[in-house]
Amino acid sequence: MPDAAAGDPDEPDDPDLTNCGPTTNPGTHVCGTTCATDNVNTVELGCRFGCGEPCAGGANGTATCTAVGTCGLECNPGYANVNGECVVLSCSDVGYVCGDLQDGHGGSVSCGTCFGSATCAADHTCSVPADAMEPDDTREAAKDLGSFNDYDDANRTVSALTVGDANDEDWYRFRVFDGFDAGNPDVRVTLSLGNGALATNHELTVWFKCDSGDATSISCGEGSATHSTNNSGDATLGNGCAVNAKNVVWAGFTPNCSGTDDSGVAFVRVRKLAEARGDTYDLYVEAK
């Protein structure tokens, strides 16, 4: 019988590399399954800790050896190293919203500025102060704007509101009351800045549900253009409409509930689908 302790002569024993490397055996490093002597720190040899193969270059850049002895990639002016590739220098590639992006060759790209009282933080994102309606980041925390009766053409404006960052959402709710004015309420929600266009795009979504539970058709758009109708329904909130724009953004509906009472509750959500820079918006609600 073969010796149980003997290995297969056709299979080499696993190498013992525990004593290979700068901490246990200075001047050596692991290359695959062997312990190799450190190279001269040149690109042609894969740098100090390479295994004899030259460092790979790349388009718009040159292979280099780093200070710690590994292969690196130095990008040409106007390009940035993103995940080992030299790409055109872009603020979005590195998550910059404001300030200047340096290319390492003395050149830079401006990533924009923050609005109003917002400041450019160390991570190159805009630090936006909370507005007077915060916290209102969830449906459950929606700020109550009150009741709007079409009998007296009720309306309200809330000014100087902001979206703080890419994850911030502003939620509001209000009640529509069908008064006795011989017509159904005509409700409109608008985002603007001093009755004019916003500085940047904001997404406005408005939902409405009748007290009777009936659904109502809602349209939305910007300026004089209608973009969508009923494109954002919610099982709890009812039919809704969402639009991402800046030229006086709006959503409107005329409740048509069962019976003679067309009252109900509306929810409003405002958010940014791009970076937040601290620009303000005014929220206007009316029921005629």
Amino acid, res. 220 = C
Q: In the chain, where are the structural domains located?
A: 39-86, 89-127, 143-287
Calculate what percentage of the chain has a pLDDT beyond 70.
Answer: 95
Mean pLDDT of all residues in the chain? 90
Residues 6+ apart with CB under 8 A from 241: 205, 206, 218, 219, 220, 228, 229, 230, 231, 232, 251, 253
Q: Which of 4-18, 177-191, 199-213, 250-264 comes out lowest in average pLDDT?
A: 4-18
C-beta separation of 271 from 206 below 8 A: no
Lookup: tokens for 232? 């954002």
pTM score of the predicted model: 0.72
Q: Region 26-37: what's the mean pLDDT?
A: 92
Q: Which residue has the tokens 């349209």?
A: 219
pLDDT at position 46 over 80: yes
pLDDT, residue 232, reads 95
pLDDT score of 157: 98
Q: How much is the pLDDT for 94? A: 81
Q: Is the pLDDT assigned to residue 5 strictly greater than 70? A: no
Q: CA angle 199-287-280, nearest 5°?
A: 15
- Tens of pLDDT along 138-154? 999 999 999 999 999 99
> Tens digit of pLDDT for each residue in 244-255?
999 999 999 999
93: left (phi over 0), alpha (psi -120 to 50) or beta: alpha
CA angle 118, 119, 125 (to 5 degrees): 100
Query: Helix, strand or coil for residue 279?
Result: coil
Q: What are phi and psi of 92, to 5 degrees?
A: -65, -30
> What pLDDT is attached to residue 181?
78
Unique residue bearing structure tokens 């590739």: 85
Q: How far apart are CA 207 and CA 234, in angstroms?
A: 8
Domain 143-287: give its CATH code: 2.60.120
The neighbouring-strand residues paired with 177 are: 149
Residues 273/201, Cβ–Cβ less than 8 Å:
yes
pLDDT value at residue 165: 86
Using alpha carbons only, what angle is made at residue 99 by residues 94 and 102, rounded to the nearest 5 degrees?
60
Question: Do the beta carbons of residue 191 and residue 270 sit within 8 Å?
Answer: yes
Question: pLDDT of 198-244, one tens digit each?
Answer: 999 999 999 999 999 999 999 999 999 999 999 999 999 999 999 99
**Sole residue written with tokens 């009777």:** 212
SS3 content of the chain, % helix, strand, coil (to 5): 5, 40, 55
Nearest to 249 by CA among 270, 234, 235: 270
For 61-103, the pLDDT digits (tens) are: 999 999 999 999 998 887 877 788 888 878 887 889 999 988 7
Query: What is the pLDDT, as a whole number, of residue 83?
Result: 80
Question: Can you give the pLDDT at residue 4?
Answer: 45
Side chain identity, residue 136: D
- In three-state secondary structure terms, 187 is strand
185 — pLDDT class (breaks 50, 70, 90): very high
Asked if residue 182 has pLDDT above 80, the reply is no
pLDDT-derived band at 3, boundaries 50, 70, 90: very low
Residue 8 has pLDDT above 80, yes or no: no
